[in-house]
């Protein structure tokens, strides 16, 4: 059942990629580690919120400098961001133990 679900997920991903390409209308989408890091930090609740002159709200990830944090601050941020990544990456079914181990290894690389 899990592998069948992964086939459906892969099919959905391929369809979404095609639709995204059509809707992007020439805009190049680039995967960015920095953008993903900022997303994880903001999802963990570490962001500043600004109200712009037109009334829209903008959030920016906190700049995290571990060297200037206290040990307690570091643990709080580290644990919250790691939990976000854990849920986002490993809260999925895997076809093989190797797939799960690869995902976990990538997660630990981020944490290091």
Phi, psi of 58 (to 5 degrees): -125, 135
Answer yes or no: is pLDDT of 31 > 80. no
> What is the Cα–Cα distance from 102 to 97, expressed in whole angstroms?
9
Residue 42 CB contacts under 8 Å (≥ 6 apart), including other chains: 59, 60, 61
Secondary structure class of 50 (helix, strand, coil): strand
* Structure confidence at residue 54 as a pLDDT band (50, 70, 90): very high
Domain limits, the chain: 1-29, 31-111
Phi, psi of 62 (to 5 degrees): -60, 145
Q: What is the pTM of this model?
A: 0.57
> What is the Cα–Cα distance from 44 to 46, expressed in whole angstroms?
6
Lookup result for tokens 């986002």: 88
């Amino acid at each position: 059942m899990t592998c069948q679900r992964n086939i459906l997920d892969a099919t959905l991903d391929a369809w979404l990629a095609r639709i995204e390409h059509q809707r992007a209308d020439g805009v190049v989408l680039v995967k960015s580690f920095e953008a993903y890091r900022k997303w994880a930090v903001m999802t963990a609740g570490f962001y500043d919120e600004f109200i712009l002159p037109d009334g829209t709200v903008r959030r920016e990830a906190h700049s995290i400098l571990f060297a200037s944090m206290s040990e307690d601050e570091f643990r709080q941020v580290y644990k919250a961001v790691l939990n976000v990544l854990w849920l986002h990456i490993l809260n999925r079914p895997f076809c093989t133990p190797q797939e799960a181990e690869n995902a976990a290894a990538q997660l630990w690389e981020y944490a290091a």
